[in-house]
Chain A
Amino acid sequence: MAANEKKTPNPTTADVTIDPTTQQKSMSLLQDAMYRLVRNPVAMISLGVLLVIIIMALAGPHMVPYNYYSNDLMNTNKPPSAEHWFGTDNLGRDMWVRTWSGAQISLLVGFSAALIDLIIGVIYGAIMGYKGGRTDEVMNKISEILYSIPYLLVVILLLVVMEPGLKTIIFALAVTGWITMAWIVRGEIIQLKNRDFILAARSMGVGAGRQLFRHLLPNALGPIIVTVTLSVPNAIFAEAFLSFLGLGVQAPISSLGSMINDALQGWNLYPWRMWFPAGLICLTMLAFNLLGDGLRDALDPKLKK
């Protein structure tokens, strides 16, 4: 039956039929993946933890009558209490507000860097993979050279030279972070572009852009999603690392990395100044990594061991 149906469409209607089928296939693939993801308790707990962290990062600072920058020199280094839920730091600033607004910065950097990586990486990778030949060779060599330069060094150089701040960090991370994504997209497109459904589309005169965005990229969605998810914690780590070195966002804006660095001074006496930011960043990174692993298992069951 099915074999008969496949033979019937004539070339004129094929244009109409191919589109819905590919789309349906990618939808069912995603639904399939969603089904597997929902049944993975580790991934679901991670997702839940991340949602809580995101909500708290947005709402947390508004839950108490303090802000992240006002000093209160009468109440420095106070342990957690009913007034200051996470205690106060060496300038008497409320740690609850500072921790959650630090998380805001982390998430902002993580998501924006991942988004920019996604855009640049997909465009660059799609051109490499789709064009092939000379273009691919040259662009691939360029990306390999860029990749061989250690990215944290480049980020540090850029931050030293440019005006420090959030925009600079995101820019510096985006400049260096898109290459993995480009390679993933390239590999997927090279694999897909000689499949029958693309040949069919091409033979019917579907343009390159439409081939890419309607047919090729939707089929490469799985690896793209996994790569994005795993690039978020990388960016969060990089921001914390740079802020720890004093190259990140500038005081008094709080960042989890700079809070950890500040806490080092009074580690022995005021450990809560370390526990909250350090715990939160570990939890965030852990949840993103576990969710990424879960997504990989769900989207690519072949890889599951």
Chain B
Amino acid sequence: MARYIASKFFFTLVSLFVLISLTFFLMKIIPGDPFMSEKAIQPQIKARLMAQYGLDQPIPVQYVRYLGNIIQGDLGVSMRYQNQDVTGRIAQTFQPSLQIGIFAIIISIIVGIVLGMIAALYHRKLIDHIAMVLAIIGIAVPSFVLATLIQYVFALKLGWFDVMGFSKPSDFVLPVVALAVQPIAFIARLTRSSMLEVLNSEYIKTAKAKGLNGFTIMTRHVLRNGVLPVVTYVGPMTANVITGSVVIEQIFGIGGIGKVFVESITNRDYTMIMGVTIFYGVILMLARFVTDILYVLVDPRIKLTGKKGA
């Protein structure tokens, strides 16, 4: 187990290193320097600024320094707002993003599993069909379209919620729903198909033959095995929620990291874009890492010796 965790951890580090290197070299491709926006800056001052940020050094030196800074959690200084460092800005805006993200993930898992279970139990009945039609619509409708739609219906037309803003608990509802619908649909489909497989398996027949009651069979046998594949979806779901939050914060006017990301894209604030990208990358890769570990913990059938457990 320790070896498995170590190898997965090492793999995560390598992926992270690739992403960081990619951001660094892409940043170097961009023509010009961070101080181009300043009007008529004196050459001497510019040279001093360049030296201050280490931009006069050869690229390999800069690269090593960049890596060193990132290890220490320093993602550099915003190109647009010179007195603002990227790490600080991320720390400031992290909270609302984290809140809606975690809410969305919890709700997705609960609602998705329940929906998938109901669909599987009523296989080929009306409820099953309705649930699966809803699921395919949930998968097909892009989150930003869904967000604008529910904003229109529930905030603009019905007036149940504020259109924008993020100050009171009811402001959570629409963004979290917009983020959760797609993961709910995926989880419901996953749960349904794996539950169907479990329900048709020999050991469930055995359990029924033993005369166990429906509730025990459901909780002890079907649920435990039927929900396993959902664990594999934790990584992709995190990715989904993060990319979704980028546009959803924009639509609902939430001052989170997603909004910072969009702003820095609009302003071409390169260091900020790179910083947020790396930050997102770290979160996603951690989520994948945790998924890999969880999966082995919950499914004893996976052999740790075979490294290529897909």
Contacts and interface: CB of A to CB of B under 8 A. Distances in A.
B262 A156 contact: no
A146 B140 CA distance: 25
A224 interface: no
Interface string A48-77: 000000000000000000000000000000
Contacts of A305: 193, 196
Contacts of B270: 160
Contact of A240 (B15, B142, B242, B246): B142
Nearest to B242: A150
B228 interface: no
Interface string B142-156: 101100110110001
A166 interface: no
Contacts of A220: none
A158 B141 contact: no
Interface residue SS majority, chain A = helix
Nearest to B236: A150
Nearest to B19: A149
B266 interface: yes
A237 B140 CA distance: 9
Contacts of A264: 148, 251
A265 to B, nearest CB: 11
B14 A145 contact: yes
Contact of B23 (A148, A157, A271): A157
B145 A278 contact: yes
A171 interface: no
Contacts of A281: 142, 145
Contacts of B23: 157
A154 B22 contact: yes
A247 interface: yes
A260 B152 contact: no
Interface string A149-165: 11011101110110000
Interface in B249-308: 251, 262, 265-266, 268, 270, 273-274, 277, 280-281, 284-285, 288, 308
A247 B265 contact: yes
B11 interface: yes
B265 A233 contact: no
Contacts of A263: 148
Interface string B12-33: 1011001100110011011000
A289 interface: yes
A160 B273 contact: yes
Interface of A: 140, 144-146, 148-150, 152-154, 156-158, 160-161, 233, 237, 240-241, 244-247, 257, 260, 263-264, 267-268, 271, 274, 278, 281-282, 285-286, 288-290, 293, 305
Given A160-B273, A286-B137, 11 more contacts: A148-B284, A149-B18, A156-B277, A157-B274, A161-B27, A245-B246, A246-B266, A263-B148, A282-B142, A285-B142, A289-B139
